[in-house]
């Protein structure tokens, strides 16, 4: 029995080693090799389907991401500071020697007192915030205890201020989510994450502008709460930062949406002319 098994095994080896016959890969190595070849073929088909990100497209995505990050930084700067609106009464509101001005944002209110002698004599209202003076800043208590503040015998509209702050927070959250989607798209090399990132950035920009509109309405409501004391008001540089940030993130979201398209819109609208006649 053993001798017949050895003879059969030698015959099989002799047949397999004969010239001109294809030798398949044997054992586990041949199985893994065939499986690896299948995986490579599937990977090549996946890349050729257009779902991956090319090198030129990756450079455009990174450049657009830099624009979006610039908008995020401006948003954080504007939302975190209290220079959204400046309030300036007349010189005679406080006394004839000192002048009082105020400015506030989404979270904090500040007042500043300086000498009238440091101002221009021809100026009828209190001067600029850049003058030297004593400052006093306090956070809004209606986020914690519900108490409102009084400025120049006027009270800010609490509901509108809270609503504008909520819009700003949601907008920042969407900006962070969009950035995470773009990082995943570049690291994984797929275009799938470009569309949700574009939606996040566009929505965040819309919410930023909605925050500005609601805040401006709160300022108008604050000024109308008491007409006996006229105040000069103007929007400050924090609003400028937030407005520029909203424009940047909306533009970046639109570019991400264009990059996520399966075709180039420029080639679709302006097809290249064939050079062959």
pLDDT, tens only, 55-114: 777 888 889 999 999 999 999 999 999 899 988 888 777 667 788 888 899 998 888 888
- Residue 269 binned pLDDT confidence (cut-offs 50, 70, 90): low
pLDDT of residue 16: 46
- Residue 174 binned pLDDT confidence (cut-offs 50, 70, 90): very high
Q: Which residue has the tokens 């930062």?
A: 241
By C-alpha distance, which of 173, 176, 195, 174 is closest to 261? 195
Is 232 within 8 Å of 125 (Cβ atoms)?
A: yes
Q: What is the mean pLDDT of the chain?
A: 77
Strand partners, 93: none
Q: Which domains does the chain have, with CATH numbers?
A: 55-269 (1.20.140.150)
Neighbours of 65 (CB within 10 A): 21
Which phi and psi (to 5°) does residue 99 adopt? -130, 145
DSSP string, 115-138: EGGGS-TT--B---TTS--EEEEE
Is 104 within 8 Å of 160 (Cβ atoms)?
A: no
Percent of the chain with pLDDT over 90: 31
- Residue 209 binned pLDDT confidence (cut-offs 50, 70, 90): very high
| Residues of the chain by 3-state class (helix, strand, coil), percent to 5 | 55, 15, 30
pLDDT exceeds cutoff 60 at 1: no
In this prediction, residues 150-157 reach a mean pLDDT of 81
In this prediction, residues 234-262 reach a mean pLDDT of 92
pLDDT exceeds cutoff 70 at 221: yes
pLDDT exceeds cutoff 80 at 234: yes
CA distance 23 to 28: 15
CA distance 203 to 59: 24
Is 133 within 8 Å of 113 (Cβ atoms)?
A: yes
Residues 6+ positions from 209 with CB-CB distance below 8 Å = 243, 246
Give whichever of 118-127, 147-156, 176-185, 264-273 has the largest mean pLDDT.
176-185
Residues 6+ positions from 61 with CB-CB distance below 8 Å = 53, 182, 185, 186, 194, 256, 259
By C-alpha distance, which of 239, 235, 243, 241 is closest to 88? 235
Does 22 or 85 have the greater pLDDT score? 85
Which of 36-50, 53-67, 175-189 is least confident?
36-50
By C-alpha distance, which of 165, 219, 189 is closest to 58? 189
Structure tokens that stand for 192 in this block? 């799938």
Write down the pTM of the prediction. Answer: 0.73
């Amino acid at each position: 029995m053993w001798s017949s098994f050895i003879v059969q095994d030698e015959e099989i080896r002799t047949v397999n080693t004969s010239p001109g016959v294809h030798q398949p890969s044997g054992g586990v190595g041949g199985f893994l090799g065939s499986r690896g070849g299948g995986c490579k073929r599937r990977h090549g088909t996946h890349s050729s389907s257009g779902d991956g990100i090319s090198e030129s497209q990756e450079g455009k995505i990174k450049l657009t991401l830099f624009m979006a990050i610039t908008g995020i930084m401006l948003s954080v700067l504007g939302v975190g500071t209290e220079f959204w609106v400046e309030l300036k009464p007349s010189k005679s509101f406080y006394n004839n020697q000192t002048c009082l001005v105020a400015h506030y944002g989404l979270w904090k209110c500040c007042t500043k007192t300086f000498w009238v002698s440091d101002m221009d004599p021809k100026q009828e209202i209190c001067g600029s915030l850049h003058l030297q003076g004593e400052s006093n800043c306090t956070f809004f208590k209606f986020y914690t205890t519900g108490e409102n503040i009084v400025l120049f015998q006027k009270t800010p509209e609490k509901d509108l201020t809270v609503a504008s702050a909520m819009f700003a927070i949601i907008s920042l959250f969407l900006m962070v989510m969009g950035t995470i989607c773009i990082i995943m798209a570049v690291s994984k090399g797929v275009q799938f994450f470009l569309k949700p990132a574009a939606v996040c950035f566009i929505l965040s920009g819309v919410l930023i502008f909605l925050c500005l509109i609601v805040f401006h309405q709160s300022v108008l409501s604050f000024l109308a709460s008491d007409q006996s004391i006229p105040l000069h008001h103007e929007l400050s540089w924090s609003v400028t930062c937030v407005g520029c940030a909203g424009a940047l993130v909306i533009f970046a979201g639109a570019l991400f949406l264009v990059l996520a398209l399966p075709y180039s819109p420029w080639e679709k609208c302006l097809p290249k002319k064939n050079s062959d006649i």
